[in-house]
């Protein structure tokens, strides 16, 4: 928050005190607004974490109260019943594989679509965009039947292919717009050096996609990590279950027990939070790259 305090050299009454310009007042108000917004967004998360350290009886007596002591029994119970470490490894493997594939295949497909602006390319982009608009319940049965026929049910490969396919339309759409804004002169210079199309993509275009890839990865990772419908549909072997399916075991049909669900939800989100924290600088620099010219 910045408030400018200008001391007038003229010594006039107007200039003796603090001088709030319109710009600084606006900036301060905006900062306060953003601060409230952040607090409002963090309250449910803070509530979930606080509740996860309280016993069921404590929560019933005072649902909004602070924990008087940290009760770890809920976490021990949740970890024991979630097959936690195995399911986290499964989720990490699937999420990272899908993110890498979506970034690579999406950018490869987007490069020619961005550069060849003929009718065919436009038609392909339109077709790909349809993938973004198709509701999940339309896809789910055909996907199941195709994967059954391919023998890919209950396999890591199957679930990775499904998530990759579901996220490719977004990726292609995203990268096409981004690559269109890359100056063609860069490619022409590479072509003068006898670079092939593949070499231009790999050595010129791909390194410029850092910011787009960072943003896209955020979306894809969140979507894949949090989804449990496709893992539930395609995976039947419990040892292959993702962490969200494990969390889901704590949700009742007719009631919710906060002391069971909240620690499981915290444990389910924790690996992704750690991952984001670890790559925070890289993601942020990627997201904001190009924002300032």
Partner 1 sequence: MNKQKIKLIGTAISLLLASNYSYAAAVTLDVTAWKGNEAEPAGFPVLLKKFEQENPDIKIKLSFISRGDTDVVIPPRLQGNNSPDVMMVDMPLVKIWGDAGMLKDLNTKSDWYGDIAPAIKESIAPKGKLYVQPLELVGMGNFINTDLMKKAGIDKTPTTVNELIDSCKKLNDAGISPMLFPSGLSARLFAFANGLSRSPSKPWELGNGTASFVDDPGFNKAFSLTRDLIAANCFDPKIQAALDPWTTTLSEFRGGRVAMVMHGAWNIKSFSETEGLNYTLGPIPTDKATGTALDTFGMGWAISSKTKHAEAARKFLNFFAEDENLAVLLKDESAYSPYIKGTDGVPALAEKYNAARAAGNIVMWPVYMNHWPQAMESESVDGMASFLLDPDMSSKEVLEIWDETVEDSM
Residues lying near partner 1 in the complex (CB under 8 A) = 56-57, 59-63, 81, 137, 140-141, 143-145, 148, 153, 229, 232-233, 236, 248-258, 260-261
Rounded to a whole number of angstroms, the minimum distance from the CB of residue 122 to partner 1 is 33
Quickly count: other Cβ atoms within 10 Å of residue 3's Cβ.
13
Residues 166 and 227: their CA atoms lie apart, in Å, by: 12
Q: Which is nearer to partner 1, 53 or 174 (CB)?
A: 53
Rounded to a whole number of angstroms, the minimum distance from the CB of residue 254 to partner 1 is 5
Residues 51 and 59: their CA atoms lie apart, in Å, by: 7
**244 exposed, middle or buried (CB, 10 Å; 0-12, 13-18, 19+)?**
buried
Give the ranges where 116-155 is alpha helix by DSSP (H).
Answer: 119-133, 136-149
Q: Which is nearer to partner 1, 63 or 73 (CB)?
A: 63
Q: Which is nearer to partner 1, 182 or 233 (CB)?
A: 233
Rounded to a whole number of angstroms, the minimum distance from the CB of residue 233 to partner 1 is 5
Rounded to a whole number of angstroms, the minimum distance from the CB of residue 61 to partner 1 is 5
Rounded to a whole number of angstroms, the minimum distance from the CB of residue 263 to partner 1 is 11
Residues 68 and 136: their CA atoms lie apart, in Å, by: 44
Q: Which is nearer to partner 1, 83 or 211 (CB)?
A: 83
Would you say 53 and 67 are in contact if contact means Cβ atoms under 8 Å apart? yes
Q: Which is nearer to partner 1, 28 or 140 (CB)?
A: 140
Quickly count: other Cβ atoms within 10 Å of residue 255's Cβ.
6
Q: Which is nearer to partner 1, 190 or 261 (CB)?
A: 261
Give buried/exposed letters for 193-221 (b at 16+ CB in 10 A, else e): eebeeeebbeebbbebbebbbbbbbbebb
Rounded to a whole number of angstroms, the minimum distance from the CB of residue 246 to partner 1 is 10
DSSP for residue 140: H
């Amino acid at each position: 928050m910045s408030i400018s305090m200008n001391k007038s050299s003229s010594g006039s009454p107007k200039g003796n005190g603090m001088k709030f310009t319109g710009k600084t007042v606006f900036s301060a108000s905006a900062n306060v607004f953003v601060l409230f917004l952040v607090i409002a967004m963090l309250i449910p998360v803070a509530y979930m974490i606080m509740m996860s350290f309280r016993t069921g009886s404590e929560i019933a007596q005072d649902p909004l109260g602070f924990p008087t002591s940290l009760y770890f029994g809920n976490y021990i119970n949740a970890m024991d019943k979630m097959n936690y470490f195995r399911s986290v490894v499964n989720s990490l493997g699937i999420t990272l594989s899908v993110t890498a594939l979506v970034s690579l295949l999406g950018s490869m497909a987007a490069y020619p679509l961005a550069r060849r602006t003929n009718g065919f390319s436009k038609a392909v982009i339109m077709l790909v965009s349809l993938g973004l608009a198709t509701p999940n319940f339309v896809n789910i049965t055909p996907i199941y039947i195709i994967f059954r026929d391919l023998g890919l049910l209950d396999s890591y490969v199957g679930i990775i292919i499904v998530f990759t396919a579901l996220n490719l339309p977004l990726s292609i759409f995203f990268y096409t717009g981004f690559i269109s804004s890359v100056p063609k002169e860069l490619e022409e210079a590479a072509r003068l050096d006898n670079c092939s199309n593949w070499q231009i993509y790999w050595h010129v275009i791909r390194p410029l996609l850092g910011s787009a890839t960072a943003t896209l990865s955020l979306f894809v990772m969140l979507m894949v990590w949090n989804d449990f419908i496709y893992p539930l549909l395609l995976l039947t072997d419990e040892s292959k279950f993702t962490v969200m399916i494990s969390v889901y075991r704590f949700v009742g049909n007719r009631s919710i027990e906060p002391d069971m669900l909240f620690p499981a939800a915290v444990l389910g989100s924790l690996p992704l939070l750690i991952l984001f924290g670890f790559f925070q600088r890289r993601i942020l620099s990627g997201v904001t790259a190009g924002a300032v010219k």
